[in-house]
Chain A
């Protein structure tokens, strides 16, 4: 198989202005990815599938990644003019000071695709696409018209991450129910507070269980709630439970 750099060059030759960026992977696997610009992604995808040398005819996996807003602190050298009194004479001097500046890099949602070629027996090629932000501009073009196998997996990414795939033939939730409002795989998802009964709680679960008991004092005070009296209607006695 061609290297990722060669594939990138081939794409840029075939689709001018494709806006492909190389995302390197510093780990030993060195599985570098190609970041596609959403505007031209469909053309690039069609090229990857139809090109004779590449022939990526099989989309094996689609997944999502949630990148939160990142606060980056960086030290900047700033030169400014300072008025000082040196030896009784007032002077204006240039002084270089190090300053810590913080900037927030906005987060985004990312869709990752793994491509293989069954015909030429090579792969995987990892391609990625990023949304503009995590809140209101979360559209990405669907590659379902190019690889039909993307349909259910893009629905899953939509269901769990909330990426809206434009051009998808049937974009509905696939794992959660239709009325569900959250996106459970996002990093800032808060799951329902049903930590009322945790017999062997530890670490994060213990903290959630304690927080639950503090917010529901009735659970600790009421003897009925704590002893479980009147449990099952009309099914008690008669040797229940092994």
Chain B
């Protein structure tokens, strides 16, 4: 049940603060998204730059990079995901507590990038885990990561706590664990998780 905006402003003028549980809950969640301290390649350097004084990701409530997946809310896939690393990335994602979010940072994380045709590089981490925000770039500038972070905050803010489109951590039926691919004789088995990723349409 949303509060009428005009009424809310009017009440605010009188010194009365009105909100909903949903708003309060989402405000709390979006203002304290803690990323996991985890970098894969050169994009990680830009991610580190984003947290430093000049760009200061702490302004968005994400100052604490947690070294353990158990304490993290956000996984920033910052760099090339090799096929050898992909099972570990999925395992780390499974070890994170709900609610959890993923930002795929840079060309490699979203598609394989310049290494797409390589035998050893995964063609995008979205083949195994659901990605909330993709940011292109090679590597993306810190501003782009901040933009992705703000997009994620908007997404969290807009989530309703009930109904069919409620977030996964409030849905008892929702699948919370994602199968970890096995290193096979020639490739990862399976090469993608069909529950997460299907072949996109190519419009020519």
Contacts and interface: CB of A to CB of B under 8 A. Distances in A.
Contact of B119 (A181, A192, A229): A192
A238 B29 CA distance: 15
Interface stretch (A90-98, A164-172, A220-228): A220-228
B130 A238 contact: no
A191 interface: yes
Nearest to A195: B117
Contacts of B134: 241-242
B175 A181 contact: no
Interface in A185-215: 189, 191-192, 194, 196-199, 205
Nearest to A181: B185
Contact of A228 (B123, B165, B198): B198
B187 A192 contact: yes
A181 B139 CA distance: 33
A189 B187 CA distance: 13
Contacts of B120: 175-176, 184
Given A205-B117, A232-B130, A238 B155 contact: yes
A239 to B, nearest CB: 5
A204 B132 CA distance: 32
A235 B130 contact: yes
Contacts of A232: 130-131, 196
Nearest to B147: A242
B174 A234 contact: yes
Contacts of A105: none
B165 A180 contact: no
Interface residues of B, number: 41
B81 to A, nearest CB: 14
A64 B201 CA distance: 41
B155 A240 contact: yes
Interface of B is mostly: loop
B155 A234 contact: no
A182 B200 contact: no
Interface residues on A, range: 35 or more
A237 interface: yes
Contacts of A176: 84, 120
B84 A177 contact: yes
A219 interface: yes
Given A176-B84, A228-B199, A241-B134, A194 B148 contact: no
A189 B195 contact: no
B168 interface: yes
A29 interface: no
B135 interface: yes
A28 interface: no
A176 B154 CA distance: 40
29 contacts: A180-B185, A181-B186, A184-B119, A184-B120, A191-B119, A192-B186, A192-B187, A194-B123, A194-B187, A194-B191, A197-B199, A197-B200, A205-B117, A225-B199, A228-B199, A228-B201, A231-B196, A232-B130, A232-B131, A233-B168, A233-B175, A234-B168, A235-B168, A239-B158, A240-B133, A240-B155, A241-B134, A242-B147, A242-B148
Interface of A: 175-182, 184, 189, 191-192, 194, 196-199, 205, 219, 224-242
Interface of B: 83-84, 117-120, 123, 130-135, 147-148, 151, 154-155, 158-160, 165, 167-168, 171, 174-175, 183-187, 191, 195-202
